[in-house]
Amino acid sequence: MARERQAVSAHGTLGTLFHDAEEPRASDREVAWYAARLPRTAGPVLDVMAGSGRLLIPLLQAGFRVHGIDISEAMLASCRARLEASGAATELFRQNVTALNLPFRYSAAFVARGAFQLLADPTAALDALLRIRAHLIDPGVLLLDLFVPDGAEHPPGAPVVEVRTVAAGADCRIGLRSETFIDVTLRRIDVRSRYERRDRHTITAREDEALALTWYSEDEVLTLLKDAGYCDLGIEPAAYERNDGRHFAVSARARSEGPPPRPRE
C-alpha cells in the first residue's frame, strides 16, 4: 500500500505531445530566475521532475550543467529528442523521486512549475525531499516553485471543465478536454483529462489521464522542509506566473551535518 500511495502522476504519449506543443520552452523570465539562483561552478544541478526539458534545455544552453529525472518515459523520450535537435547532451534518468537513487551528487536541485505538488500524499512529499537532500552537496541549494489554487479559498460548486486544442505538426492537432475537482477538506486537486489526436479530420488516437495534486501554504511548506532537514529557508515571488492562484517560490539549503534521516517505509 505504501508504494501505491507514493505513485507520482505522469503524462503519456498524447499528453506529452499536447504540453510540448502548448509550451515547448520556459519563458526567458523563468530561465533568468533560475539562472540567478543556481550555482554555476560548484557542480551539476538536478532538474527534478524535468518532463520533456522545458527548462532543462534552456539552462544547458545558458551554460549550466544540468541532469534531469522524470517518471514519464514519454516525457523523457521527448526530452532526448529535443536535446539531440538542439545539439546538447546530458544525463537523464527515469526514476520516481520518492525513491531517488542516482550515481551523482549535485550542488543544487529544483522542482519547477508546481510539479512538486504532484506528490499528493504527504508521506511521498517528505520522502522526496529526503531523497533529494541525500543527493545534495555544498552549497546544497533547493528551489521549489509552488502555487495555491484559486479554489482553495473559493471552491467551485462543480467540476471546472476546459477544452483546448494545439497544433502538433502538419495536419495534426491534439485536443484536450479536462475536468478539475477541488476538495478543500482533503486539500486535493483531481484532474481527469482526455486527449484526442486528429490527423487531418480523423481521430487517430485517444488517451485518458488522471492527475492528482495538493497544495501548501508558505508556512506549511517551510515546516515540511524543516522536517526533511533543510535550513536557510526563504519565500519569494514565483519563477512561474499564471492567473490561476497564488504562486510563490521557496529556497532552502540541505544541512551538511550528518547523514539525512531515512525515508519512511
Q: Could you report the per-residue pLDDT of 20-74, keeping only the tens digit for each?
A: 999 999 999 999 999 999 999 999 999 999 999 999 999 999 999 999 999 999 9
Residues 44/107, Cβ–Cβ less than 8 Å: yes
Residue 8 has a pLDDT of 57
How far is the C-alpha of 199 from the C-alpha of 8, rounded, in Å? 31
pLDDT of 2 above 70? no
CB neighbours of residue 142 within 10 Å: 25
Q: In the predicted model, what is the mean pLDDT of residues 8-29?
A: 90
Residue 154 has a pLDDT of 79
Q: Which residues contact 246 (CB under 8 A, 6 or more apart)?
A: 147, 148
From the list 65, 101, 107, 61, the residue with the least C-alpha distance to 85 is 61
Of 255 and 262, the one with more pLDDT? 255
φ, ψ for residue 185 (rounded to 5)? -65, -45
> 188-231, pLDDT tens digit by residue?
999 999 999 999 889 999 999 999 999 999 999 999 999 999 99
Rounded to the nearest 5 degrees, what angle is found at the Cα of 123, between the Cα atoms of 121 and 124?
65
Q: In the predicted model, what is the mean pLDDT of residues 132-144?
A: 97
Grid cell at residue 237: 515571488
Q: In the predicted model, what is the mean pLDDT of residues 165-183?
A: 93
Residue 256 has a pLDDT of 66
Q: Among 77-91, 131-145, 243-257, whose mean pLDDT is lowest?
A: 243-257
Q: What percent of the chain has pLDDT over 70?
A: 93
Average pLDDT, the chain: 91
pLDDT of 181 above 60? yes
The answer, yes or no, to whether the previous bond of 139 is cis (omega within 30 of 0) is yes
How far is the C-alpha of 255 from the C-alpha of 130, rounded, in Å? 11
From the list 77, 76, 71, the residue with the least C-alpha distance to 211 is 71
Q: What percent of the chain has pLDDT over 90?
A: 82
pLDDT band at 260 (very low <50, low <70, confident <90, very high): very low
Residue 204 CB-density burial (10 A; 0-12 exposed, 13-18 middle, 19+ buried):
exposed
Residue 9 has a pLDDT of 61
Pseudo-torsion of CA 73, 74, 77, 81, nearest 10°? -160
- Helix (H) or strand (E) run with residue 190 in it: strand 188-199
